[in-house]
Amino acid sequence: MPEEERPLVGWSRVADSPEMLETIKKNRKSSLGFAVVLTLLFPVGFLLAGLFSDEMPLNDALIIGGVLGLFMLALNLWRFANMNQRGWEGVVVKKLEKRRYEKREISGPSYMEYIVLIKTDGGKTKRIVGRKWDRDMYDYLEIGDRVRYHPAVETIEKYDKSKDEVIYCNVCRRRNPIQNDRCERCNNLLFK
């Protein structure tokens, strides 16, 4: 799209473009394939171990493999259900930095959590949490910013991008200069 048709204030039309819908479809297919492989990996792996290894009785192998397989299946179903949920819009209301202790002991190792709280138009509170070095969204979003969540790509879009020098790819999350029309890493259209 030429630049004059892509103003920096307002929701991007890229999300509904045929190209992006095609990308979403492709990504979904490959993550579905990946999910199937992961789900089968444990039962098949443990079955083989039970059959061919003397150290693993077949019964134990079938139970462990089955339980891990079911666990992966549940995890993947939950993720796909979330990807099909409806998007939401809201406003950033709060930003917090919290120190977390890995073993719940104040003297132990710790890391930072960067939390952005968003009040949706429906009155719910959503949280974006970045841990350790992941403070991209924390730095990108300011209190008062209006945002939209795109469930198909599991990322946020900012309504007013006019004061920004960077934009995050909604497909692979790479940081790009705001002048870019396409992502430097995955070449998908940026949401602007």
Residues 44-103 within binding reach of Zn ion (CB under 5 A): none
* Residue type, position 99, single letter: R
C-beta of 131 vs 185, nearer to Zn ion:
185
CB atoms within 10 A of CB 173: 16
Q: In whole angstroms, give the CA distance from residue 139 to residue 114.
A: 9
Output the smallest distance, CB 37 to Zn ion, in A.
24
Return the residue of 174, 175, 178, 180 that touches Zn ion, per CB under 5 A. 174
Residues 154-173 within binding reach of Zn ion (CB under 5 A): 169, 171-172
10 Å CB burial of residue 130 (0-12, 13-18, 19+) is middle
10 Å CB burial of residue 57 (0-12, 13-18, 19+) is exposed
C-beta of 117 vs 172, nearer to Zn ion:
172
Q: Are 24 and 51 in contact (CB under 8 A)?
A: no
Output the smallest distance, CB 96 to Zn ion, in A.
28
Return the residue of 118, 152, 183, 189 that touches Zn ion, per CB under 5 A. 183
C-beta of 152 vs 169, nearer to Zn ion:
169
Point out which span in 26-34, 53-61, 121-129, 179-187 binds Zn ion (CB under 5 A): 179-187
C-beta of 146 vs 174, nearer to Zn ion:
174
Both tokens assigned to 139: 């730095």
182 makes contact with Zn ion (CB under 5 A): no
Output the smallest distance, CB 158 to Zn ion, in A.
16
Give the closest residue to 186 by CA, choosing from 32, 19, 38, 35.
19
185 makes contact with Zn ion (CB under 5 A): yes
Phi-psi region of 123 (alpha: psi -120 to 50; beta: other; left: phi over 0): left
DSSP string covering 76-106:
HHHHHHHHTSPPEEEEEEEEEEEEEETTS-T
112 makes contact with Zn ion (CB under 5 A): no
Output the smallest distance, CB 69 to Zn ion, in A.
32
Contact footprint for Zn ion (CB under 5 A): 169, 171-172, 174, 183, 185-186
